[in-house]
Structure 1
């Protein structure tokens, strides 16, 4: 592919002469190189590889997270079974998911090589990393408490994925707040005791945020969790069903804030 070099060189020559030609060729070369990389990443073969890596990494880390505190609770087993059920996996895929979960829960399991392979396969896409981490956060919250061992395991995973502790803590707060709206189907309803503070926390903004910034934060979250976008990035279609449930929680939180502010 040479279009970048051709255009860059021509423009450089016209504007700066021979020196511009050299600069334009270099800039064009870098453009062509980046374009080729993008096209390769978006190829059907590579997307299939990312989906497989996402699937395997999710269930390996789920087993690791479930065993982080020394034992696997009934709630964690139920949560994993719910995930598998909602995904509508085939018998073969279900067997594979359970086997991966067991591997991850082994005493000698180490997440470092698993996450390294995932990052290599996914190209380090931020949204894929964030979606993967949210899956593990939801498992940790399955029994409604996150103990010290689970916190440490989440921190280990987060750092390996490139998130710092402050980012992890914000994601935890958002996930916990979004849980208050889970199942409300995007309506203004929420579980009893849910507050306006929970709604702001679910969107990751403060109560002092202005209307414009509020809408921007809401739209960003909805875009990040849009099914088509997640599938295009390599999240398996079956897992998107679960990931995008969060959009309904975000919608419900936003509706509560809109109502309180008298916004349309």
Structure 2
């Protein structure tokens, strides 16, 4: 109930009025049945705009720190994520990460929508980074189609480290569903899981128009601080012409 109040009565109408979503391809999200939304990750606000646009409930995972904040800000953030059905995940990896995937698998087996960021973390510089194979395991274990979702300018609306977003039209693209039934029975095959993940990342690269970097974003963040490009530097050519 809290989810529907938040999306359709309290937060949803306000956000749609302020950010005037420009969306293409929403018809690619099936009206029923399990679906995986695989999104590029540019901003904290990605987890707000994607569920806002999709008519069905979308369940994401988020780092556990979002659920443990102090004060009024921490309480509001925790209530938002709990209300939208977001699952906390310990990003230290191992069994904790597998537990989060198991939870999302249960979401899919119940016929619902699971949202996931294959990159595993926000892009440090606006480029698209190598995907982790968790998205492939979800697809292979559930048999659910994967709909790639391109968030085109959320890094301009709410850059990393900024609490207050800029009021600017948000743009999203939904790609055609990807069916990996041809790999049925290949769960645990690391070569298949890598091939599936790379196919998803290729579709995201095509939809976003952003440069692809074949390394993990998390590895780059821990090794060196990447310089941020100027806002709009990676806009698709057809959007620059507007």
Shared fold by TM > 0.5?
no
TM-score (norm 1): 0.27
TM-score (norm 2): 0.29
Larger fraction in strand = 2
Greater Cα radius of gyration, structure 1 or 2 = 1
Which fold has the larger relative contact order, with Cα–Cα distance below 8 Å and residues 6 or more apart in sequence?
Answer: 2
Larger fraction in helix = 1
